[in-house]
Structure 1
Amino acid sequence: MQDYYGQTMTGSYFSAPRMGTGATFLPPLESTMQASYKSYAPPFIVSQSLNLPWKPSVYYRGANKLSPLSQSAPVANPSILMRDDAVYRVPPMLPSNRTALFSKYTPTEWFKSNNTNYRTSDFTRSAAQRLRDENVRIAHDTDAKTFKNQHESSKNLGQRMSDINFWKSELHKEIDEMQKEINDVAAWKQRTEHALRETEGPLAIAQECLFNREKRQGIDLVNDAVEKELLKEVDTIKRSQDQLRKMIDRQSAQLSMNRAALHELEKDTADKWRSLNIDGKCHQLHNNSEGLAYFRGVEGVDNTVSVPESWAKFTNDNLLRSQRERNASRGLRGDVDSVLQETANDMWTQYNTSNVAFQGRVAETLDARNNIQAHLAKVLQEINEMENNISMMRKALQDKNAPLQVAQSRLDSRTRRPNVELCRDQPQHRLVREVSEIYETVDILQNRLRAGEAALQELVRTKTTLEHDLSVKNNSLFIDKEKCMGVRRTYPTTTKLAAYRQGP
């Protein structure tokens, strides 16, 4: 419930809650702040046109009729109430109204409230200004820091590109050197192969002399000095061929190692070329570049596989490996040249020794027909069994082709596994071991096959010797002097045996 309180004639009547005793009531800060900026009409003037239950005209009329409230107060001159201006007078104040006057704010409180609002305003504005200044400073600092970070990132990218260009130039130099070395080794390999082909003539000559001399009959079929020297010549030629084949194998292996090193260099160069293009594009990016986009969480992705030290070590290891292979290739070429000279000299020395023995054997004639028939039958039987054995060995070799193709196909397919999936796992070890075992098996079978073929050849030669010994006894001197010495005149020179015409 609300009560209505009166004021002086310059005031208006208002409705307000009953004030508590003993406490000072201040309006909220917001309403006070707003009131300080509002402009009102002259204060406390109430229009009488308002149709309110407490408008002054009603109250005044009640006062004019001497309400009980007005009669309770003593009146010195009652006739004064009948005057015209009595209608506009405020009725005497009751004790309750007088008490309400003491519940209002004092001027001191009013000034104190204003001062409080002023101080609050100053403090709030100062805090806001400090916040604005701090925000401006932070904005400038963050802009400078962002620009600095971007500049440092661009600088690091540029330095990285310089490092990549340095290693790429070193790789290109080494690639050129390795390519030249591969060409040199290939040329020396061709020279060695040509020298190996040149030994086929002397070997054929020596073997042909042996075959021809096996045609001697009777006592002429002896293991004389000529035959020994011819066999020694065959052994010398075959030993030279073995040395040349080993050199060819070594050169083939060295070529494989050189090409493998070259492949690593080219692969490393291609990777650095791609990395250089990527870093170049990154280095050219700026805040106004086209194609910029957000990649959320990319800063948390770490799929790197190396650090700058291991990255540089990887390329350096490739370069060192290539240099080692090139040094090994140079040493191998020196060994090949020595072997070519040694084999040519050995074969030519033995050729001259054989010729001397031939000349000493021309005047000698011996008969060696004892037990030819019995031995010839045994040789024929052994030839048949050896041919069957050779056929069996060839079939065994042919049976190893399919397992070898399966294992190598598996290995070849597994080399196409991507990235880190290219793992040397247990299947890889087993496949490599399987291929090695098949190769070892094939080598064993081939060696046995070659041994069988050599044995068969020896059997055939023995058979031929026995058959010829039975039929060509009288032309032994013709064989040694005319036929054998005639064909040996086509023996190649040392220059051809060393294959100097095919040299690099």
Structure 2
Amino acid sequence: MAASPMKERKRCSVADWESSNRQLWESAELRRLTAHRIRQEARHLRNDTLSKMELDQSNSFQHLSDRIQEVSRWKDRLQSCVQEVNKEIDALRKVKEEAEHVLAALLPPLEVSVECLSLREGRRGGELVCDPVEAELKKEVEASERAKRELQQHVDKAFQQLFLLQEARQQLTYDLQNKMEALDVDMRCQSLTVTSPGISLKLSPLCVPLGSTSPQEWEQFSRYNISRAQEETQTSQQLREDVTLTLAKVQSELQAQHAATNFALRKRYHKVDQACSELHWQQKTTREEVAELELDICRLEEDLQAKEAPLKLVHTRLENRATRPGVDLCQDQVQHGLMSELLTHDNILTARLNIRVPPCYLFAHNLHLRFFISLTDISLDAVSTKFYCWSAWHHRNSSEMV
């Protein structure tokens, strides 16, 4: 079979071919220019990005350094404030313990003073007097009670102030602990580099955590804690000064009052001792006088008995002569002499003795009464001296000296 003739294709002219090639060249040139521009822009963008990243990293590093310095500064201030608060707590606790010790030391002397007043109420008779000792003891009891009230008030205030200081210290410690943890985090962040192990992309790194604060709030929080701690420290220092002054005043007042009471008690004890000595001397003298008076009464009774025999003789003679008979019953000289003798015995001697003896008995009875009164007075003085609580007071003085 004979081959079919080939279909003639469309042919371009030389001009068209040249025009087509020129278009290709121009298109390629345009694309090369565009690519060159894009490459230049990409290089510029890469350089800008690298520069900005390096600048941002440098700024972040500097910001971290500044933040670390600021946090360190506040940490140092908080540490210093905590140390001051600790010192003040120790000082206030020491003053409080001293006040409590003085308060406890007031109780035994106060009990002794109250016991002395109670014992002195046991005095009897004329010894139950309102003397300077009682007045000074009452003053001492009042001074001790007043000192107890003042010291107890200061102890209560110190206890409350210690609570406030501890609360302020707790807040400072909490803030300081947070500062130390934040400082550790920032220092670890500052030490990280692009080549550090463990760095990675995180989910939502720009998410603001709950509870975040502004720098102003952060600074205000620490500033408030330090300011509060300083105020409580100043209040505590003023309270310590007040407690110290009160302790000095209380000790001075009580020492002065104790000296006054001790002087009054010694003086009264000396007077009572003198009174007892005087009563003992009066007792001895009265006993001797009673003995002499009783001896004289015995002698008077003996004299009275001695006068009975001559009186009996006269009575017997007169009675016998009355039996004379008749005219011999004469009132002669003998009769008159006997009657005169009888009158002498009866009216003078016997009458005088009978008059003298009863008053002697009465006076002796009075002396006996006075003797028993002096014994009673001595007994009362002895009880009074015992109730003057000298033993308890002397024991108190010995305890205070120890």
Corresponding residue of 1:160: 67
What residue is the counterpart of 2:162 in the other structure? 255
**Aligned partners of 2:114, 2:40: CA distance in 1, in Å?**
108
Task: Give unpaired runs (5+ residues) of structure 2.
Answer: 276-378
Q: Deviations over 1:405-430 (max 9, x none)?
A: xxxxxxxxxxxxxxxxxxxxxxxxxx
1:490 and 1:476 map into 2 onto residues whose CA distance is 22
One of 262, 272, 279 as aligned partner of 2:186: 279
In structure 2, the CA distance between the partners of 1:150 and 1:325, relative to structure 1 (3 Å rule), is: same
Letter in 1 for 2:89: I
Matched, 1:487 2:392: yes
1:265 aligns with 2:172: yes
Rounded Cα–Cα distance in structure 1 between residues aligned with 2:234 and 2:381:
55
Distance 1:161 1:127 in 2: 49
Measured at CA, do residues 176 and 479 of structure 1 come closer, stay the same or move farther in structure 2, by a change above 3 Å?
A: farther
> How many angstroms does 1:321 deviate by?
2.4
Structure-to-structure mapping, 1:86-101, within 5 angstroms: none
CA distance in 2 between counterparts of 1:203 and 1:53 reads 152
Q: How do 1:117-128 and structure 2 match up within 5 A?
A: 117-128=24-35
Within 1, Cα distance between the matches of 2:393 and 2:244?
Answer: 26
Amino acid of the residue matched to residue 288 of structure 1? T
Question: Where does structure 1 lack aligned partners over 5 or more consecutive residues?
Answer: 1-50, 60-99, 366-473
Counterparts in 2 of 1:145 and 1:53: CA distance versus 1, 3 Å: farther
TM-score for both structures, normalised by structure 1: 0.52
Shift of 1:195: 0.8
* Match status 1:170 vs 2:77: yes
Equivalent-residue separation in structure 1 for 2:119 and 2:3 (angstroms) = 159
Tell me how far 1:155 sits from its aligned partner: 1.2
Q: 1:143 aligns with which of 18, 31, 50?
A: 50
User: Cα–Cα, structure 1 residues 489 and 305, in superposed 2: closer, same or farther, change >3 Å?
Assistant: farther
1:130 lines up with 2:37 in the alignment? yes
Relative to structure 2, which stretch is displaced further, 168-177 or 266-275? 168-177
Deviation at 1:117, TM superposition (A): 2.2
Corresponding residue of 2:4: 54
Q: Residue 153 of structure 2 corresponds to which residue in structure 1?
A: 246
Alignment partner, residue 113 of structure 2? 206
For residues 98 and 153 of structure 2, the distance between their equivalents in structure 1, rounded to whole angstroms, comes to: 14
Corresponding residue number in structure 1 for 2:228: 321
8 A Cα contact 1:202 1:492, kept in partner? no
Q: Call closer, same or farther: CA 1:199–1:223 in 2, change over 3 Å.
A: same
Matches within 5 A, 1:18-417: 54-55=4-5, 105-217=12-124, 226-355=133-262, 358=265, 359=267
Q: Which stretch of the first structure deviates more once superposed, 221-230 or 312-321?
A: 221-230
Cα gap change, 1:52 to 1:281, in 2 (>3 Å): farther
Q: Output the CA distance in 2 between the equivalents of 1:251 and 1:290.
A: 55
The 1-side partners of 2:381 and 2:178 are apart by 73
1:306-362, CA deviations, whole angstroms, 9 ceiling, x for partnerless residues?
Answer: 222332232233222222222222222211121112212322333344456655697
Structure 1 residues 476 and 172: CA distance shift in structure 2, 3 A: farther
Deviations 1:453-489 (A, max 9, x none): xxxxxxxxxxxxxxxxxxxxx6576345664233223
The letter for the 2-side match of 1:212 is L
- The structure with the greater share of residues assigned to helix is 2
- Which residue pairs with 2:304 in the alignment? none
Q: Counterpart in 1 of 2:296?
A: none
**Given that residues 215 and 476 in structure 1 are in contact (C-alpha distance below 8 angstroms), is that contact kept between their aligned partners in structure 2?**
no
Matched-pair contact (CA < 8 Å) for 2:123–2:383:
no
Could you tell me how far apart the structure 1 residues matched to 2:229 and 2:381 are?
Answer: 60
Aligned length: 296
Q: Is the 8 A contact 2:127 2:384 kept in 1?
A: no
CA contact (8 A) 2:119 2:387 kept: no
**Residue 355 of structure 1 contacts residue 485 of structure 1 at CA under 8 Å; is this kept in 2?**
no
Q: Following the alignment from structure 2 to structure 1, what is the Cα–Cα distance between the partners of residues 161 and 180? A: 28
CA separation in 2, counterparts of 1:477 and 1:348?
A: 30
Deviation string 1:228-282 (CA, Å, 9 cap, x unpaired) is: 5433322221110111111111222222222222222222221111111111111
1:52 to 1:300, Cα distance in 2 relative to 1, 3 A: farther
Instruction: Tell me by how many angstroms 1:291 deviates.
Output: 1.0
Question: 1:131 offset after TM fit, Å?
Answer: 0.9
Moved more, 249-258 or 304-313: 304-313
Give 3-state SS (helix, strand or coil) of 1:126's partner. helix
Q: Distance in 2 between matches of 1:52 and 1:111?
A: 39
Following superposition, the deviation at residue 223 of structure 1 comes to 6.6
Instruction: Name the CA distance, whole Å, in 1 between partners of 2:105 and 2:252.
Output: 14
Deviation at 1:219, TM superposition (A): 6.6
- Aligned to 1:301, the other structure's residue is in SS state coil
Q: Give RMSD over aligned pairs.
A: 3.4
The CA distance in 2 between the partners of 1:128 and 1:247, in whole Å, is 90
Shift in Å, 1:227: 4.2
CA contact (8 A) 1:207 1:234 kept: yes
